[in-house]
Chain A
Amino acid sequence: MMIHRRTALLGLAASWTLGRSSLAFAGSPGGPDDPRFVVIILRGALDGLSAVTPYGDADLRTHRRDLVLPEPGQEGGLLDLGGFYGLHPSLQTLHRLYGEGQMLPIHAVAGHYRSRSHFEAQDYLESGADDRLSSGWLNRAVSVLQGKTNRPDGYGLAMGLTVPLLLRGSAKVGSYAPAGSQHPDEDLYNQIVALNASDPITGPAFRNGLKARGFSDADMTDMKTPAATGKPHKIDAFTQLSTAAGQMLATSHGPRIAALEIGGWDTHAAQLGRLGSPLAQLDRGIGALRESLGESWKRTVVLALTEFGRTVRMNGTGGTDHGTGTVTFLAGGAVAGGKVGGTWPGLRPSQLFENRDLAPTTDLRAVAAGVLCDHLHLPPQALPTVFPGPKTNPLKGLIVSA
C-alpha cells in the first residue's frame, strides 16, 4: 500500500483519514522492545449494550427487546463472553482474541463529563479534562514519555487529514496520509442528498453527481437502509489505515503511539441493521493491526473508546439516543484479557443514570491512566498533567505482568 509522507506538506501537526476513519501516531526511547499503544476513537457514541450485551440481565429485554440479538449458540446470536455478557457477532476477531486472553472489554465506563453533545463530549474525551483544552491527553502523555529520544517522526504519529485533538499539543507528532480518497463517506452523502431533495437546483445536482460517481439511486433515496449494510466494501479505509499504523509502529525506530478514528456509531434509527458495519470495520482494523505489528503485537495495547453511550431504552425509530455509560475495549498481546472488566450497575429503572442511561461505574480516564502507567511506564506523578482536574486513579490489572 502507498504511504505518502505528509509531514513536509502539512507540518508536523497533521494525520491520516479515509472516509470517516483516520489515524494518528506518536514515539519512545528504546528500540524494538518498546511498548506500543494504539488509541481508536469511535466518534458518534457506540451503544455499549449492543457491542457487549449483558444478555444475562433480566431487565435488558424490557427496555429494548427489538434491539437484542439471540443468545449465544442460536443462529445470528451473540458470541459468549463467559455466561453473562455476549459480544456482537460482527466482532469475530475480538472474540478470538478474548479466547486467547488478549481482549478485555470494560463495561459501564464513561468520561468524567456528563455532556450528551457529541462535539462537547468528544472534545472533553480527547482533552482528558472536563473542559475543552487546546491539547489532548495523549499528546501530553507523549511529552512526558518521549524524553531524550529524537525520532524522525516523533514518538507520536497522526495519520489522517488532521491531527485529532487527542494528539494535538506541544509534543512533536508525526503525520501520514494516503493519496486521494479525501471525501465524505456514502452515509454522509446520502444525508446530503436527502437534505437537498426538494431543492430545484441542488437536489438534482447532488443526485446526478453521486450517480456519476457510481452510487446507486436506491442507496441515495432509501435512508432507512444505509448502503454500508451487507455490501462488500470497495476499500475498507480503516483496515488500510490500521495496516499502515501497525507497519509504522513495528519499525524499530518508528513511532510508538498511534491514534485512529472511525465514525458511523450514531445509531438514532434502525440501529440493528446499522451497527454491524462499523463494528465489523473496527474488528477488521484490530485484526489488521495484529497482523502488521507482527512480533510487536506482544507488546501492544489497543484502546477503543467512544464519547458516551446510548439510551438503554429503544427510541421510536428503532434506534437509541445519546446516553452516558458504555463499553470500552482493550486488545493486544500485553492486555490481561479473557474476562469482562468493570462493575455492572444493573438495568432496573432505579439503577439507570437519570432513569435513561447505563450508569457509569468506571472512569474512562482511569482505564487510560492504567495503560499509560502499567504499560508505557508513565510516572504516576505525571498523571495530573495528562489528566488535569479531579484526581485519576489508574485502574490496575489491565496489563499482563512481564
Chain B
Amino acid sequence: MRFVSAINRFGWGQRDSKASDMPLREWLSQQLNEPDAAIFWNVGSSPDGLIALREQRKTKMQGDPLVKPIFQAEVTTQLDNLLVTDQPFRERLAWFWFNHFTVSLRQGGTRAVIGAYMREAIRPHVTGRFSDMLLAVMRHPAMLMYLDNTSSIGPTSPAGRKSHHGLNENLARECLELHTVSPASGYTQTDVTSFAAVLTGWSIDMKAEQPGFVFREKAHEPGEKTVMGQTFPEGEDGGIQALHFLGTHPATYRHIATQMVGHFISDTPSPQDITHIASVLRDSDGDLREASLALADLHDTNRSGSKFRSPMDYATAVMRALSLGGEPSQPDDPHSPPHQLYAAFASLGQPLWTAPLPNGWSDTAADWSAPADMLARTDWAWRMAAHVRAGDPMEIAHIALGPALRPQTQLAMHHAGSRQDALALLFSSPEFQRR
C-alpha cells in the first residue's frame, strides 16, 4: 500500500486501480527499461514548425495561422499522454528535464518548435547520457531561438568584421549557470565570454529545404578558446567538445543531482542524498537511467507527501484521479480533457511552457501555496468535480491517495451532500496537495 505514495511521488497521480504490487525499484526500472510508450498524434518535426514560421513571415500573415495549429496539436497530444500514461515515472522525468532545460514561449518566438523540442531534444535522452541530452538541447532550434544564439557572432569572424556585430552571451551563460556546472564550480566572466565564442556559429538555417541547426563557419570566432582551464579547438567540433566537457563535469553531476533530489524528494535536499546521486552519475558517466533509479534508494523516498504539488502536478493529478483523458479529440476542441488541463495550468498559475525565466518553474512549496493559489485550486477542482457522472468519491479517494488519505478527510467526504462536494473536499485536503 506504500506504493500509492510512491506512484504519486514519482509519477503524476494515481489513475484507476491497477496499481501493481511490484517493489518500488522494480516498478521504476520497468518504465525506464522499456522504450518510451508515448504516441503523439498529428504532430510533425521541428523543420515543419520552422517552415510554417518561414511562410508566415514571408507573407506577413497576421494571427499565427500556420503556427497555431501546430502548437495546438502539440498541446493536445502531449497533455493527453500526460493524463493517460502508464509510464508516469518516465513522463515525470521528461517534464523535469524540460524544466531543467527550460524553453519558454515568453521569448524568442518559440511557439512553432517548443512542442517538437520536448519530443526531439528531451524525451529521447531521459534514460540516456546527460551529455547527449545537453548536446541535443544546445543544437535544437527552440533553444537557439530562446536564448538568442542565432544572433551571436564572433567579433573577428568574417561576418563579425563585416557587420560589426558581436557575441551574445545569453546561451553560454545559462548553459554554465543553469544547465551544467552552476556557479558553485567557480567559473568566471572570462569563461562565459570564452564559451560564448565557442558557440558562435551555432545557428538555424531558415532557408534550407529542411530548416534546422546549422554551423555557420563565417560567424564562428576563429582560434582556440579556453573554458574553465580547458582548451577547445576552432570550429563546430570545439563546441561539441566543450559541451562534452561540461556535460560530464563533476560540478555538473553535483548540480543536477541537487535538482533531481529537490524535485523528487525534498525542497531542502540533504547533502548525503545529493552526494549519492552525484556519485551514481560520476560512476556511470552521467547515465540518467541509473541516476533516476538511484532516487529510489534515498532515505526519504518512502516518506510520503514531502513534496508540494505544483499547479501542473495538481491539475494533472485531479484529472487523472477522475480518469479523464484518453478519448480521441480534435486539437482545437476547447472542452477536450487536454485543453481543460492546459487551461487549468494557466488559471492555477503555471501556464504550459511559459516559465518566466530560463531557470524554469520553482520546485518548492513556498512558491505555490499562496492563499489565492489554494483557493484557485479548490474552485477549479470543484468545477471539474461537477462533470463527474459516476463513481464513488470514496473509491476515487482511496485510489488517488492510498494510505495517505486521512480519516478526517474521509469523514468530511462521507458527510458531503453531493458527489461534487465530496470530491471538492478530497481535492482540497492537505494530503492531496502533496506527492
B382 touches A183 (CB 8 A): yes
Q: Which of A192, A204, A207 contacts B378 (CB 8 A)?
A: A192
A184 touches B379 (CB 8 A): yes
Residues of B within 8 A of A202 (CB): 369, 374, 430, 433
Q: Which of B392, B419, B424 contacts A184 (CB 8 A)?
A: B424
**0/1 per residue, A174-187, Cβ < 8 Å to B?**
00000000111000
Q: Is A188 an interface residue (CB 8 A)?
A: yes
CA distance A268 to B393 in the complex (A): 19
Interface residues of B in 282-333 (CB under 8 A from A): 308
**0/1 per residue, B374-392, Cβ < 8 Å to A?**
1100110011001101101
B374 touches A209 (CB 8 A): yes
Q: Is A402 an interface residue (CB 8 A)?
A: no
Q: Is A212 an interface residue (CB 8 A)?
A: yes
Residues of B within 8 A of A206 (CB): 371, 374-375, 378, 428
- Chain A interface residue count, CB cutoff 8 Å, equals 47
CA distance A188 to B374 in the complex (A): 14
Residues of A within 8 A of B389 (CB): 134, 165, 168
- Report the minimum CB–CB distance from B85 to chain A (whole Å): 27
Q: Is B408 an interface residue (CB 8 A)?
A: yes
CA distance A20 to B389 in the complex (A): 17
Residues of A within 8 A of B120 (CB): none
CA distance A44 to B383 in the complex (A): 18
B379 touches A43 (CB 8 A): no
- Report the minimum CB–CB distance from A372 to chain B (whole Å): 24
Q: Is A264 an interface residue (CB 8 A)?
A: yes
Residues of A within 8 A of B421 (CB): 20, 184, 188, 263
Residues of A within 8 A of B425 (CB): 188, 191-192, 195
Q: Is B362 an interface residue (CB 8 A)?
A: no
**0/1 per residue, A27-57, Cβ < 8 Å to B?**
0000000000000000111000000000000
CA distance A11 to B334 in the complex (A): 11
B417 touches A44 (CB 8 A): yes
Residues of A within 8 A of B1 (CB): none
Residues of A within 8 A of B371 (CB): 204-210, 212
CA distance A203 to B369 in the complex (A): 10
Interface residues of B in 338-376 (CB under 8 A from A): 365, 369-375
CA distance A149 to B383 in the complex (A): 33
Q: A132-B390, A201-B365 are in contact. Are A45 and B417 (CB under 8 A)?
A: yes
Q: Is B30 an interface residue (CB 8 A)?
A: no
Q: Which of A134, A205, A266 contacts B416 (CB 8 A)?
A: A266
B369 touches A192 (CB 8 A): no
Residues of B within 8 A of A132 (CB): 390
Can you list 30 A-B contacts with CB-CB less than 8 angstroms, sorted by A residue number?
A10-B335, A11-B335, A17-B386, A20-B418, A117-B392, A118-B417, A118-B419, A119-B418, A122-B418, A165-B389, A183-B382, A184-B378, A184-B382, A184-B421, A188-B421, A191-B412, A191-B416, A191-B425, A192-B424, A195-B408, A195-B430, A196-B430, A201-B369, A202-B374, A202-B433, A205-B374, A206-B374, A206-B378, A212-B371, A266-B416
A residues near B, CB below 8 A?
Answer: 10-11, 17, 20, 43-45, 117-120, 122-123, 132, 134, 161-162, 165, 168, 182-184, 188-189, 191-192, 194-196, 199, 201-210, 212-213, 263-266, 268
